[in-house]
């Protein structure tokens, strides 16, 4: 499927210093989103777990129902008031069956909820002496690949943090649905961030010759989880368009129509795949927005 970004798109990544105080987090989000919109951003991304600490203990305490919870309403109103596409990082969600998920909600400039992604791959790692984290102790994984349209720009794919380590999601979104960008709210840490954060952003971009956006919380060495920071936007050639530091900040980038086609014309891997040698996973995999 051909990939289309039909118009220049200015994006903003809000590298929020999320705290344990949900009201404060929401009020900081509002300030930053208003600023990004007044600077011309048309699509604004928030980080993973922007309204709570990123911790297994915090997920049940901060979990909300969707769409009836406070944060869904807050994000919808903010998208409408600023007339932007708002990619709402992620929040802990309490599903109807009582199960907990790490969930990202996206809103149109009208305030309508246009996508809901539940983190598919739960972050369960154990690197002795460095970091142990087991989302699966309290969370349940999602079961779909999320793709949605943001008219007039085209389609984007959405996944959360650890999902980026599984290239199939991005490949299906790019090949089957023709997304021009993959967006990953994500909270890597001071162990895995230096190893793989930028590498994975650039890898998913170059695998699929699409834009890739990663939005992290700011680093806070006083909290239990030390988020990496360095929110980043990468172009289809894996060039870095913008990159934050460790602290709270907003970074911007402009995504260009035509750059995907130009990249693919030069290095035509999209037409050179050998499905006679290996299967096309995108052919049989379903995607949806909600
Ligand atoms: N926090 C995550 O989900 C993933 C992460 O930190 C990593 O993959 O590293």
User: Using CA atoms, how far apart are residues 6 and 93, in angstroms rounded to an integer?
Assistant: 34
Q: How many residues does the chain have?
A: 290
What is the residue with the minimal CA distance to atom 2 of ligand 1? 162
Give the atom of ligand 1 at the shortest distance from the alpha carbon of 135.
Answer: 3
Mutational test site, ligand 1, from 187, 196, 197, 231, max ligand atoms within 8 Å of CB: 187
Question: pLDDT digit string (tens) for 169-191?
Answer: 999 999 999 999 999 999 999 99
Query: Is there a contact between 231 and 1 (Cβ–Cβ < 8 Å)?
Result: no
Residues with CB under 6 A from ligand 1: 123, 161-162, 165, 187-189, 192
- Ligand 1 pocket test target in 50, 133, 188 with most atoms within 8 Å of CB: 188
- Answer whether the bond into residue 249 is a cis peptide, omega within 30°: no
Residue nearest to atom 3 of ligand 1 (CA): 162
Instruction: State the distance from the centre of ligand 1 to the C-alpha of 227, rounded, in angstroms.
Output: 9
Q: Name the active-site residue from 48, 135, 177, 198.
A: 48
Cα of 219 from ligand 1 centre, angstroms: 14
pLDDT band at 2 (very low <50, low <70, confident <90, very high): low
The residue whose CA has the least distance to atom 5 of ligand 1 is: 188
pLDDT at 112: 98
In this predicted model, what pLDDT tens digit does every residue of 239-270 receive, in sequence order?
999 999 999 999 999 999 999 999 999 999 99
Element (H, E) at 31: helix 22-38
- Alpha carbon of 40 to ligand 1 centroid (Å): 31
Lay out the sheet containing 154-158: strands in order across: 240-243, 232-234, 211-215, 181-185, 154-158, 145-150, 287-288
Q: Which pLDDT tens digit goes with each residue over 60-119?
A: 999 999 999 999 999 999 999 999 999 999 999 999 999 999 999 999 999 999 999 999
Cβ-based burial of 252 (10 A; exposed 0-12, middle 13-18, buried ≥19): middle
Q: What is the pLDDT of residue 191?
A: 98
The answer to whether the predicted template modeling score (pTM) of the entire model surpasses 0.90 is: yes
Active site annotation includes 119 = yes
Q: Decide if 48 is catalytic.
A: yes
Q: Which tens digit of pLDDT belongs to each residue from 221-230?
A: 999 999 999 9
The tokens for 183 are 């967006």
Distance (Å) from CA 266 to ligand 1 centroid? 33
Query: Domain 9-267, CATH 3.60.110.10 — does that match?
Result: yes
278/32 Cα distance (integer angstroms): 46
Q: Identify whether 49 is a catalytic site residue.
A: no
pLDDT of residue 3: 60
Decide: helix, strand or coil at residue 188: coil
């Amino acid at each position: 499927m051909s990939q289309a970004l039909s118009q220049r798109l200015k994006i903003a990544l809000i590298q929020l210093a999320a705290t344990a105080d949900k009201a404060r987090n929401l009020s900081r989000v509002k300030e930053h989103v208003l600023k990004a919109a007044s600077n011309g951003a048309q699509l604004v991304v928030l980080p993973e777990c922007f309204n709570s600490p990123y911790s297994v203990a915090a997920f049940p305490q901060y979990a909300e129902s969707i769409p009836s919870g406070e944060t869904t309403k807050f994000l919808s109103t903010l998208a409408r008031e600023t007339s932007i596409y708002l990619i709402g990082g992620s929040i802990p969600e309490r599903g109807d069956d009582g199960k907990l998920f790490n969930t990202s909600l996206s809103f149109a400039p009208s305030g309508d909820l246009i996508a809901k992604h539940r983190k598919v791959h739960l972050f369960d790692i154990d690197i002795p002496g460095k970091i142990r984290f087991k989302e699966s102790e309290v969370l349940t994984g999602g079961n779909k690949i999320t793709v949605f349209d943001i008219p007039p720009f085209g389609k984007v794919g959405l996944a959360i943090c650890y999902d980026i380590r599984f290239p199939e999601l991005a490949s299906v979104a790019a090949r089957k649905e023709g997304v021009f960008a993959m967006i990953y709210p994500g909270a890597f840490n001071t162990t895995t961030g230096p190893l793989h954060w930028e590498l994975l952003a650039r890898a998913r971009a170059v695998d699929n010759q699409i834009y890739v956006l990663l939005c992290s919380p700011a680093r806070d060495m006083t909290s239990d989880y030390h988020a990496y920071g360095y929110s980043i936007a990468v172009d289809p050639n894996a060039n870095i368009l913008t990159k934050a530091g460790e602290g709270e900040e907003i970074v911007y980038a402009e995504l260009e129509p035509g750059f995907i086609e130009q990249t693919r014309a030069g290095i035509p891997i999209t037409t050179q795949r050998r499905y006679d040698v290996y299967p096309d996973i995108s052919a049989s995999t379903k995607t949806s927005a909600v």
